[in-house]
Structure 1
Amino acid sequence: MYQTLLYYKIVKIKYPESEMKKHLEVCKALQLKGRILMSKDGINGNVGGLPASIALYRAYMDAHETFKDIDFKQHDTDIMPFPKLSIKVRDEIITTEAAQDIDWNNRGRYVDRDTFHEWLKSGEEMVIIDMRNDYEWAIGHFKDAVKPPVKYFREIKDTMDYYEQFKDKKIVMYCTGGIRCEPATALFVKYGFDKKNVYHLEGGIVKYAEKYGNEGFFEGKCFTFDDRIAIAVNTSDTAVVLGNCEICGVNTDDYRNCLNRHCNKLFIGCDACMEKMENTCKQECQDIIQSEENMRSPRANTKVLHRNK
């Protein structure tokens, strides 16, 4: 068995390059894999390893003056979900393409999972906004949540006009673990939204699902940025499947990567279409795969020799 940690912390890091090197040594010694980003504004991590290594890593972070008090989201998994370890220093720990407009000291308000759940149960008047990428939304989201008109979260600044329609309403944003909502609420406040009406779900989908997975208001699966692809939120017989095969339209939430290495598109595909299309996303890709297979076949590579008579 392995365990994963999803976490972040908005905190000033004076020397991120130096901190990155120390962190790399620790993670290598513990044989952890995953992705960690650092910047002068904080840290954003998603790592996996053996339970003993995860426990030691958490102890290291809890004892660290800068990284203590992080709210870790920890989960058990049957597989090591990361192929390698990557720790980098970036300008942003979550890409917004609007770094100059974000005041980390002037963000929205947190709403804890219990309060949010009660709001949902009681029919509280609010606008729930999904701050994830469109392919994450496709297989799972909160009931009645708004899907912004973007493909990627990083396009948020370009669509601020769209959100004007919600300016006088209570807004609750959510994402996987909470980090995307941090800069998002800051942007909303900068663009004139009343700070007291701009909320984000503390701990995101992951924290909510830990307590309310089977009886909550999240429908479908939660997309993960690792080899698991997605995890079930509701594991009971009341679970619903969101998403549709991009080839035939049948209801399914299975993500695939196109077998054509020149394409490698992430798409939703049902088992029947995958068998028919040889794990490719479209006819053009299937033709390329078949052509490459023909080129590799022994018969295709056989040379016919003509002897002189």
Structure 2
Amino acid sequence: MENTTNNYKVILYYCYAEIENPDEFRDEHHLFCIKLDVRGRIIIAKEGLNGTVSGSIEACDAYMEAVKSDPRFSHVEFKEEFHPSHTFKKLNVRVKPEIVHSGLSHLNPRKRTGAYVEPEEFRKMIKEEEDLVILDVRSNYEHELGRFKNAVTLDIENFRDFPEKITELEQYKGKKIVTYCTGGIKCEKASAYLLEQGFDNVYQLHGGIIKYGLEAEGEDFEGKCYVFDNRLAVDVNKVNPTIVSKCFVCDTTSDRMVNCANPTCNVHVPICEKCGEEMEGACSQECKEHPEKRPYNGTGYYQKATNGYNPLKGFQGKLDKVK
């Protein structure tokens, strides 16, 4: 992985593995991240862990080494990208029922899930298999910004709505289906659910869009990939890039992702630079005139207020015990 002046990394990962005491693991992991100055969002559940974090190259390397050294997570794969700075201001390590909210907690991808398709193999499949069904399992705001050429997309606001769309997918039974998402985690449950519902030729893009961009140059991915940090969107395609999204305000072609300046709206949509300035970062006139509208900083990203954030709150005196 080539790097020139970027001294930080952003790493994306997930791992389905049994964690007997998620609360205890959460405390240990939280302290370890503080010690490394690794920041981001990490979800821990009895079924595994899921995270996107940033830190210095040295910190991220140490973090990945430590996670993989745990026998439970030895099979974890990290997607790594270089960046000039932290992409998160805070560290949030939380225990939740699932590592991605799906409403499919009865499914265990370690027992049954769609077979993996590696990026280069998928690249060939796109070109050579005419009857291939490429299924995007992400939310509307994600696939509207970018998606694979000829992909089937679903009208869903959240991944937990995916099971409701199964009747729309009945037409593809018997066909070869490859699911994809940002980093692969949603596909573990989505492909498992399709198999449970009688679809028998189901695969998943291993590592998702991010890994495909890193290993297969992102060919035939149209638009940008939405990401869950302060970058909002990243380029994927190095071969035949194009823009598929339109400005939410004026409908001109634009892939400039913006978080609406009105915090009560907070929608994430493409807004071109001209409209961004004219609307002061708002997605509508109503939002522009809203009394709580945030000052537009030209980026369309607004870091949540820290409100006295202290990552060591409740952990005073314990940091020195971390290995």
Q: Could you tell me the TM-score, scaled by structure 1's length?
A: 0.88
Q: CA deviation at 1:134?
A: 1.0
Partner of 1:40: 46
Read off the aligned partner of 1:176 and give its amino acid letter: T
Give the alignment partner of residue 232 of structure 1, picking from 229, 235, 238. 235
DSSP-derived class of the 1:226 partner: coil
Alpha-carbon distance in 2 for matches of 1:247, 1:71: 39
Alpha-carbon distance in 1 for matches of 2:135, 2:269: 23
Read off the aligned partner of 2:11 and give its amino acid letter: L
Give the alignment partner of residue 145 of structure 2, picking from 119, 139, 143. 139
Partner of 2:289: 287
DSSP-derived class of the 2:13 partner: strand
DSSP-derived class of the 1:240 partner: coil
DSSP-derived class of the 1:46 partner: strand
Partner of 2:101: 95
Q: CA deviation at 1:260?
A: 2.3
**Cα deviations by residue, 1:203-228 (Å, 9 ceiling, x for unpaired):** 111111112226x1111111110000
DSSP-derived class of the 1:23 partner: helix
Alpha-carbon distance in 2 for matches of 1:266, 1:161: 28
What's the RMSD between the two structures over aligned residues?
1.8
Q: Do residues 242 (structure 1) and 248 (structure 2) align?
A: no
Q: CA deviation at 1:109?
A: 1.0
Q: Could you tell me the TM-score, scaled by structure 2's length?
A: 0.85
More moved, 167-176 vs 12-21 = 12-21
Q: Do residues 268 (structure 1) and 270 (structure 2) align?
A: yes
Structure 2 unmatched ranges of 5 or more: 1-6, 296-323
Q: Percent identity?
A: 36
Partner of 1:213: 217
Give the alignment partner of residue 33 of structure 2, picking from 12, 27, 32. 27
Q: CA deviation at 1:151?
A: 2.3
Alpha-carbon distance in 2 for matches of 1:178, 1:66: 19
DSSP-derived class of the 1:99 partner: coil
Read off the aligned partner of 2:83 and give its amino acid letter: T
Give the alignment partner of residue 175 of structure 2, picking from 147, 169, 174. 169
**Cα deviations by residue, 1:269-307 (Å, 9 ceiling, x for unpaired):** 1112122222211111222359999xxxxxxxxxxxxxx
1:130-209 aligned at under 5 Å gives the runs 130-194=136-200, 197-209=201-213
| Cα distance change on mapping 1:289 and 1:273 into 2, 3 Å | farther
- Deviating above 4 A after TM superposition, structure 1's stretches of 4 or more consecutive aligned residues are 289-293
Structure 1 unmatched ranges of 5 or more: 294-309
Which structure has the larger Rg over C-alpha atoms? 1
Alpha-carbon distance in 1 for matches of 2:145, 2:61: 32
**Cα deviations by residue, 1:51-103 (Å, 9 ceiling, x for unpaired):** 11111111211211212231111110123111200111110001112323x24
Alpha-carbon distance in 2 for matches of 1:279, 1:285: 9
